[in-house]
Amino acid sequence: MKIKDTEIISLMQNPRTQEKGVRALMDAYQSRLYWHIRRIIVDGDLAQDTLQETFIKAYQNFHQFKNDSQLYTWLYRIATNEALQQVNKLKKMQKTDEDPEYYMQNLVADNTEGDAEEIQLLLQNAIQSLPEKQKLVFMMRYYDDLPYEEISKIVDMSVGTLKTNYHYAKQKIEEYIKENYER
Amino acid sequence: MKDFDLEKLERKNIYKVPENLFENIQGKVLSGLNDFDLEKLERKNIYTVPENLFENIQENVLNNVLPAKKAPVFKLNWGYAVAASLALIFGATFVFNNDNSKGTDSQATVASNNQEKKTESEIAYETLKSDLTSVENNNQTVVNQSDNKSFAKDEQNEGQETATKTVKPVSKKEETQVNEYLDSFSNSEITELASNSTQDVYLDLYN
């Protein structure tokens, strides 16, 4: 049985039921947040650490959550920030002569299931070739089907800019797949 | 090659070409990939995921945010508290019952102990008395001690006063004992003792 956000919020706000609240929060959002983080970071271990950190931060800063926004919007915001921080750390650790796109595509290949379809693999590589903002917008819209209004609150961009970014992202991905797909 | 004429050279492509090149191109064009629509593609997660991923994540998060893994420790303390309370109740009941049965005996023991304590205190008192007697024999009289008041604290003086008060009856008793002892001597024996003793010249000065 799915627990409602209002129930999770009231559990989290009461110190006596906070543990129950954290459990309910994780049960409700762990899968969605994990895959959101995983698509940004790709690396499995790092994605796990990042999701853990996301929940810890959510717990520690729950007093800052305002009921005027959706709970998942707030959680996505934390998860996105955490994931981007990890990606930036990776970039700093990367060798200067290594092509970032090539590095990410290798990471995709290493983390993909053996029986994955070629077109799905190409899609992931295409996503990794996108600029950061386009990548975020595309993933939240394409995979999580989030409304532009909510994505706007997560990444601090206007709805118009988001729509434009999504359009360009989709176009680039389709071109990438057409160019690289082999039958 | 002096008479080379480019126009007469055969037009030839010398680059390597993959097999079935044109078939493949036509195939791609005709297969509909050009009409490829991303929206129609199945949304799939293709990355590998470790077993018990979310269980591990939840455990790690709870360990981190709730150092109230104290919870089991708290329960354990309650267990100890209950055990301690029970032990206290049974222990107290046992002791109380024993006290009721052996009440008379223990009271008697207490009484005898009190008597023994009195004897000890008497012994101590006698020792103190004898010490104070020896002090008085050295001509440190009550009057002499009271002269020292200005140099000592009030508390100490109070103590000294009580001490000197107790000295008086003891010294009288001693005097009577000495007198009795002297009476036991005959006159000739006293004369003999006097002749053997030397006169203390300083004694006259103070007397």
The owner of tokens 């024999």 is: B137
Interface of B with A in 102-121 (CB under 8 A): none
At A69, is the pLDDT very low, low, confident or very high (cuts 50, 70, 90)? confident
At B20, is the pLDDT very low, low, confident or very high (cuts 50, 70, 90)? confident
Buried/exposed B196-207: b ≥16 CB within 10 Å, e otherwise: eeeeeeeeeeee
Identify the weakest region by mean pLDDT among A136-140, A149-153, A154-158, B190-194.
B190-194
At A173, is the pLDDT very low, low, confident or very high (cuts 50, 70, 90)? very high
pLDDT at B171: 58
For B37, the closest chain A residue by CA position comes to A174
Residues above pLDDT 70, as percent of chain A: 98
Domain hosting B165: range is 161-197
Residue B25 C-alpha, separation from nearest chain A C-alpha, in angstroms: 11
Contacts (Cβ under 8 Å, ≥6 apart) of A142? A170, B38, B43
Identify the weakest region by mean pLDDT among A26-40, A119-133, B122-136.
B122-136
Instruction: For CA atoms B84, B89, B90, B93, give the dihedral sign.
Output: positive
pLDDT at A141: 96
Structural domains in chain A, sorted by start:
1-93 (1.10.1740.10), 96-183 (1.10.10.10)
Across the range B147-166, mean pLDDT stands at: 46
Contacts by A160-166, CB closer than 8 A, 24 or more apart: A162/A137, A165/A133, A165/A134, A165/A137, A165/A138, A166/A134, A166/A137, A166/A138, A166/A141
Residues of A in contact with B46 (CB under 8 A): 112-113, 116-117, 120-121, 124
Query: Count of CB contacts below 8 A, A vs B?
Result: 84
Q: Mean pLDDT of all residues in chain B? A: 68
Domain contains B81? no
Residues of B in contact with A59 (CB under 8 A): 61, 65
The maximal CA–CA distance of chain B, rounded, in angstroms, is: 184
Return the SS3 of B177.
helix
Q: Which residues pair with A112 in a beta bridge?
A: B47
Question: Residues of chain A whose C-beta is under 8 A from some C-beta in B?
Answer: 18-19, 22-23, 26, 30-31, 34-35, 38, 42, 44, 48, 51-52, 55-56, 59-60, 111-113, 116-117, 119-121, 123-124, 142-143, 170, 173-174, 177-178, 181, 183
Which of these, A102, A104, A67, A25, lies nearest to B47 by C-alpha position? A104
Domain contains B170? yes
Return the SS3 of B43.
coil
Structure tokens at B147: 């002269």
Domain contains B145? no
Separation of alpha carbons B114 and B173, rounded Å? 28
pLDDT digits (tens, 9 = 90+) for B49-89: 999 999 999 999 999 987 654 555 555 577 777 888 888 88
What is the tally of helices (H) and strands (E) in chain A?
9, 0
CB contact under 8 Å between A177 and B38, yes or no, is yes
pLDDT at B13: 84
Residues of A in contact with B56 (CB under 8 A): 48
Q: What is the count of structural domains for chain B?
A: 1
Contact A96, A64 (CB under 8 A): no
Identify the weakest region by mean pLDDT among A86-90, B51-55, B173-177.
B173-177
Domain contains B21? no
CB contact under 8 Å between A56 and B65, yes or no, is yes
Structure tokens at A148: 């532009």
Separation of alpha carbons B172 and B179, rounded Å? 10
Domain contains B171? yes
To 5 degrees, how large is the angle CA B41–CA B42–CA B44? 130
Determine which of B31, B37, B43, B47 to mutate to test the interface with A (most A C-beta atoms within 10 Å). Answer: B47
Domain contains B53? no
Structure tokens at A5: 């956000």
Domain contains B182? yes
Separation of alpha carbons A122 and B132, rounded Å? 113
B192 or A27, greater pLDDT: A27
Domain contains B188? yes
- Residue-level length of chain B: 207
Region label for B2, one of left (φ > 0), alpha (ψ between -120 and 50) or beta (otherwise): alpha
Across the range B146-167, mean pLDDT stands at: 46
What is the tally of helices (H) and strands (E) in chain B?
8, 0
